[in-house]
Amino acid sequence: MSIRDWPESERPREKMRQRGPGALSDAELLALFLRTGIAGATAVDLAREVLQHFGGWRAVLESREEEFCALPGLGQASFSLLQAGQEINRRHLRETLEREQVFSNPESVRCFLRSNLRHRDREVFVALLMDSQHRLIHYDELFLGTVDSASVFPRELVKLVLQHNAAAIIVAHNHPSGINEPSQADCLITERIQQALALVGVRLLDHLIVGSGEEVSLAERGLLKSN
C-alpha cells in the first residue's frame, strides 16, 4: 500500500499541515525529505530503515554522501535536501544572534556552534565577533587543524577584531574525539588570547568546547580571568 492509499489524516504531509511538524514521528519527518519509497516499502518505511541503520538523527545528518547514498532508495537529491535543511537552520541561528544580545539567549550560541562544529572531523577554531551590545557582527573559522589539534595565533585574532571593530568576542573549537573536557593547552591558549585582546580593549566573553555531549564553557568553569 502506498502513502496515497492511507487515510488523509495519517499521511505525513497532510498530518503536518493539520497538526504541525511536532506531530510527526522521526520516520515521517525524514520521509518528507526522501519523498518516495522503493518497491515494497513506502517513504516512511524507508525512512524508518535509514534511522535504524544509522542509529538516529545525528548520525544521519552527519553521514558522508557516499555512506548515505549507498543505502537502497537513497540518492544525491535526498542528501542535498538534508544538507540544505541544516544550512537553513545554521543561517536562522546566525540571524538570531545578529538580532539579539548573546547573553539574552545563550542557548542560541551553543546551538549555532554545535551545528557548525560538531560534525567536523578536524579541529576548527572559530570566533564570534560582537558589537558593544553583544550582537553578532561577524563569524570566522580562523584555524583548521588535524583530528586532535589546531594551532591558534592570538595575533591573527587581534587583527580580525580590529578589522571588524568588535567590542567583545567568543571563541570556540571542537574536539573531534567527542571528549569536550578542556585540555591544559586549551586553558593556556585561552589565557594568551585574553591577554592579547585586553591590549586592544576587547573582552573575551567565553571559550566554548564542542564535543559529543553538552558544550563546555571555560567561563562557567571559572577558567577566564575577570575583566
User: What mean pLDDT is predicted for residues 174-200?
Assistant: 91
Q: Report how far residue 110's alpha carbon sits from residue 208's, in angstroms, rounded to the nearest whole number.
A: 8
* 154 close to 192: Cβ distance less than 8 angstroms: yes
User: Cα-Cα-Cα-Cα dihedral of 72, 73, 76, 77, to 10°?
Assistant: -170
Q: According to the model, what pLDDT value does residue 174 have?
A: 93
CA distances in angstroms from 118 to 110, 122, 133, 176, listed in the order given: 11, 10, 28, 7
Task: Indicate the helix (H) or strand (E) that contains 12.
Answer: helix 12-19
Tens digit of each residue's pLDDT (9 = 90 or more) over 215-224: 999 999 998 8
Mean pLDDT across the chain, nearest whole number?
88
Q: What is the mean pLDDT of residues 82-100?
A: 86
For 129-150, how does the pLDDT look when each residue is reduced to its tens digit (9 = 90+)? 999 998 999 999 988 875 555 6
pLDDT at 207 over 70: yes
**14-23, 103-112, 139-148, 193-202: the lowest-pLDDT one:** 139-148
Q: How many CA atoms lie less than 13 Å away from 214 in the CB half-sphere?
A: 5
For residue 151, what pLDDT is reported?
A: 72
pTM for the whole structure = 0.77
Ramachandran angles phi, psi of 177, nearest 5°:
-65, -20
User: What is the model's pLDDT at position 39?
Assistant: 84
Per the CB < 8 A criterion, the answer to whether 36 and 3 are in contact is no
The whole-number average pLDDT for the span 80-90 is 90
Q: Which secondary structure element, helix H or strand E, spans residue 216, and what is its range?
A: strand 216-217
Q: Is a pLDDT exceeding 90 seen at residue 180?
A: no
**Stretch 78-85: mean pLDDT:** 92
- Which domains occur in the chain, in start order? 3-74 (no CATH), 106-217 (3.40.140.10)
* pLDDT value at residue 150: 60
